[in-house]
């Protein structure tokens, strides 16, 4: 079973992450990790902090000569702004001059955090609840993504909407219709969306969104949005219907929902399916190819409205996940809060913040989806080395079609 554990505060010295359970001999380069970490930091509407920091992961253990050892992998992601936070975040005695934060921001973890942990300073809640932690997750998820590539599984994402601005033509429709080029891979989506400042697939759409973000900024307000994460090349049979916690769709939903500010997740046509007839919702089963008697032909689906999962098990078609992110909670034109020191009504606290982070959220979604897929992949195929996993994988996929044919003869 793979697992990862992150540690670190937003303005602490560094984030650390320990990743466990990956087979040995998986090739991974530091540049590859840093490439994906950088992608998390991009996007129009991010705050100043993203400009100060360019995250890099220092590999501490578990990788030798660019290959995993099978032992725990650990990384350190240093806070480049640490020198300005040493006193405020010191693990030693508190300097009497350090300001305590007493005005919670609605929508953030400020008030619930001080209530639950009995803090006298909201800074103690802010630091760990901040989405800074997701940098460590992207590092862990990038190992997972690298692993999946070895098996032809590719992940990409794009932003569908920000502040309710949707594209005229939505690429998700093509995905649901299964109307995508034969050689399409998930990463194609990111290769295209990464070129856009807001990670959308269309220039006209990008301009409309940027105008909406400019409006929000002018008003001192923030925005949220929706994004898609797609995985191609996933084999039939990951996940299971036998228990609530073995269902692939349930695990993916948890993984995406765990990202800060994500408040909705759907698989395939999701909420739309709830409004349709069954005949408009399900994916007809077909036999791809001209002659059904010839081997080498495969069972497939006319459409992919289910988003690549039925009964908690992957169908072999692209996995299509949608996430909805609420607007950022820190507002430059604040809404009402209460100062916990005086118990008087005041404006919520302002602090250096993003206006929009949906593009970054989609990148984090890629890592979380990768993680969930590897979890089920290794449960099914196992292996202490990548070579052993590949043997198990090949033997399963090679026999799959013939097995169904034989069983039903
Ligand atoms: C990539 C990313 C960046 C974020 N940046 C900010 C930010 O700058 N300011 C802010 O108030 N919230 C930001 N958030 C959202 C908060 O982290 C989130 O609202 C908070 O942790 C409370 O959790 P919840 O919204 O899931 O309830 C960001 C979220 C993500 C995914």
Q: Which residues contact 148 (CB under 8 A, 6 or more apart)?
A: 154, 155, 231, 233, 370, 373, 374, 377
Beta partners for residue 16, in sequence order: 7, 76
Q: Residue 85 — φ and ψ, nearest 5°?
A: -120, 0
Predicted confidence (pLDDT) per residue in 130-155, tens digit: 999 999 999 999 999 999 999 999 99
What is the atom index within ligand 1 of the atom nearest the CA of 259? 31
Which of 294 and 63 is assigned the larger pLDDT? Answer: 63
> What's the rounded Cα separation, in Å, for the pair 51 and 46?
9
What is the atom index within ligand 1 of the atom nearest the CA of 40? 1
Q: In this predicted structure, what is the pLDDT of residue 150?
A: 98
Q: In this predicted structure, what is the pLDDT of residue 401?
A: 74
> What's the rounded Cα separation, in Å, for the pair 40 and 30?
16
Ligand 1 surroundings by CB, under 6 angstroms: 47, 107-109, 129-131, 134, 259-261, 328-330, 353-354, 357, 360-361, 364
The rounded Å distance from CA 58 to ligand 1 centre is 25
pLDDT confidence band for 109 (50 / 70 / 90): very high
Mean pLDDT, residues 377-390: 98
Predicted confidence (pLDDT) per residue in 278-305, tens digit: 999 999 999 876 555 555 567 889 999 9
Judge whether 391 and 380 are in contact, CB under 8 Å: no
The rounded Å distance from CA 397 to ligand 1 centre is 41
260, 265, 323, 327: residue to mutate for ligand 1 pocket, most atoms within 8 A of CB: 260
Mean pLDDT, residues 245-249: 98
Provide the H-helix boundaries in 202-262: 203-218, 248-257
Q: In this predicted structure, what is the pLDDT of residue 240?
A: 98
**CB contact burial 390-407 (16+ within 10 A = b; e otherwise):** beebeeebeebeeeeeee
107, 327, 328: residue to mutate for ligand 1 pocket, most atoms within 8 A of CB: 328
Predicted confidence (pLDDT) per residue in 310-341, tens digit: 999 999 999 999 999 999 999 999 999 999 99
> What's the rounded Cα separation, in Å, for the pair 289 and 212?
47
Q: In this predicted structure, what is the pLDDT of residue 51?
A: 63
Q: In this predicted structure, what is the pLDDT of residue 295?
A: 56
pLDDT confidence band for 187 (50 / 70 / 90): very high
pLDDT confidence band for 48 (50 / 70 / 90): low
Q: Whose CA is nearest to atom 20 of ligand 1?
A: 108
pLDDT confidence band for 59 (50 / 70 / 90): very high
- Between the two ends of the chain, the Cα-to-Cα distance in Å is 37
Q: Whose CA is nearest to atom 19 of ligand 1?
A: 261
Four-CA torsion 203, 204, 208, 209, nearest 10 degrees: -30
Judge whether 197 and 289 are in contact, CB under 8 Å: no
Query: And the tokens for 191?
Result: 């290769």
| pTM assigned to the model | 0.96
Q: In this predicted structure, what is the pLDDT of residue 50?
A: 63
Predicted confidence (pLDDT) per residue in 360-383, tens digit: 999 999 999 999 999 999 999 999
């Amino acid at each position: 079973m793979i697992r990862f554990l992150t540690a670190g505060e937003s303005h602490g010295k560094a984030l650390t992450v320990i990743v466990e359970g990956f087979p040995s001999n998986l090739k991974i380069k530091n540049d590859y990790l840093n490439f994906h970490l950088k992608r998390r930091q991009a996007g129009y509407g991010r705050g100043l902090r993203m400009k100060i920091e360019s995250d890099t992961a220092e590999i501490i253990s578990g990788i030798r000569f660019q290959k995993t050892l099978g032992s725990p992998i650990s990384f350190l992601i240093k806070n480049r702004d640490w020198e300005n936070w040493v006193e405020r975040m010191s693990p030693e005695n508190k300097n009497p001059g350090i300001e305590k934060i007493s005005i919670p921001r609605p929508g953030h973890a400020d008030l619930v955090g001080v209530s639950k942990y009995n803090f006298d300073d909201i800074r103690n809640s802010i630091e760990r609840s901040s989405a800074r932690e997701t940098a460590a997750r992207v590092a862990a998820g990038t190992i997972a993504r690298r692993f999946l590539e070895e098996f032809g599984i590719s992940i990409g994402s794009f932003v569908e909407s920000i502040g309710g601005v949707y594209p005229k033509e939505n690429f998700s429709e093509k995905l649901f219709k299964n109307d995508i080029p034969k050689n399409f891979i998930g990463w194609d989506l990111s290769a295209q969306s990464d070129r856009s400042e807001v990670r959308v697939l269309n220039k006209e759409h990008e301009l409309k969104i940027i105008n909406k973000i400019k409006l929000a900024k002018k008003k001192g307000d923030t925005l949220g949005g929706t994004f898609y994460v797609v995985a191609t090349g996933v084999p039939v049979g990951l996940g299971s219907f036998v228990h609530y916690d073995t269902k692939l769709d349930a695990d993916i939903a948890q993984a995406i929902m765990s990202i800060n500010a994500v408040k909705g997740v759907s698989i395939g046509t999701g909420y739309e399916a709830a409004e349709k007839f069954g005949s408009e919702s399900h994916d007809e089963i077909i036999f791809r190819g001209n002659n059904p008697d010839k081997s080498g032909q495969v069972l497939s689906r006319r459409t992919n409205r289910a988003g690549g999962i039925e009964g908690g098990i992957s169908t072999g078609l692209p996995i299509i996940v949608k996430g909805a992110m609420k607007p950022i909670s820190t507002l430059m034109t604040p809404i009402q809060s209460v100062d916990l020191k005086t118990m008087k009504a005041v404006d919520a606290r302002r602090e250096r913040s993003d206006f929009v982070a949906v593009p970054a959220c989609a990148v984090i979604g890629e890592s979380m989806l990768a993680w969930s897929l590897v979890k089920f992949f290794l449960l099914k195929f196992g292996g202490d080395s990548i070579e052993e996993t590949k043997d198990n994988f090949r033997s399963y996929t090679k026999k799959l079609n013939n097995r169904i044919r034989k069983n039903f003869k």
